[in-house]
Amino acid sequence: MTFDGRDVVVTGGTGALGAAVVGALVEGGAACTVPWLHENEAERFPYRESKQVKLVGPVDLADEEAVNRLFGGVPALWASVHIAGGFAMAPVAKTGKAQLMQQIDINLVSCFLCCAAAVNAIGHTGQGGRIVNVSSRPALEWRIGAGMAAYTATKAAVAALTVALSEEVAKDGILVNAVAPSIMDTPANRAAMPKANYDLWPKVEEVGATILFLASPENKVTRGAVVPVYGKS
């Protein structure tokens, strides 16, 4: 995909999927702005020395002012990819309000605020653009969300936000979509499930390729999609 001269924000860009996306964007010629919350994220980020990457932090993506400052520092935003989020495994009976609100902030509020800021920033260019959110498989297949209902509900909200927003901004040339990954093949997931069949899990580069297409100028018509990226799992 060609992103020559295009500015792209990638939240969660220092994680496994995010780094794969940033790496592909850099290869495609994009200038990437990548926010971080904890300093160790920036320290281990493989593209921290790239001239095409601007690391910004610390940034709390659930803080509206911080998000607006982040996007205000991007010269001419073309695309915004919202990978940042968090997972919590717990049954409803053992999930308190604090844990629920944490999932809402990490997954829904951060995505909502970044979408709003991205729409405004892209709108200022008058050239249209792309927004890609990251939902999850349980968000589309609710029954497999048993035991992680707070996570499932917030990721389902991300899917609904994606589709509703796509209708709002299509007239402005902004195409909004999401991907819904199953369990991806990452070091953290391997450590958590050492007996799983990793061959069935989609690789972060494969999920990243779908994100890249949806964020690219080559995507001329797809909007309002929540694309399953399950691989063989």
Q: Among all residues, which ones are annotated catalytic?
A: 135, 151, 155
How far apart, in whole angstroms, are the C-alpha atoms of residue 178 and residue 175? 10
Tokens of 226: 């929540």
Q: Which residue type, as a one-letter code, is found at position 123?
A: G
| Number of helical H runs and strand E runs in the chain | 9, 7
Where on the phi/psi map is residue 187: left (φ > 0), alpha (ψ -120 to 50), or beta? alpha
For helices 16-27 and 204-215, the axis angle rounded to 10 degrees is 50
Tokens of 100: 């629920």
How far apart, in whole angstroms, are the C-alpha atoms of residue 218 and residue 222? 10
State whether residue 171 is helix, strand or coil. helix
| Cβ-count burial 91-106 (b if 16+ within 10 Å, e if not) | eeeebeeeebebbbbb
H or E segment to which residue 34 belongs: strand 31-35
Contact in structure between 86 and 80 (CB atoms under 8 Å): no
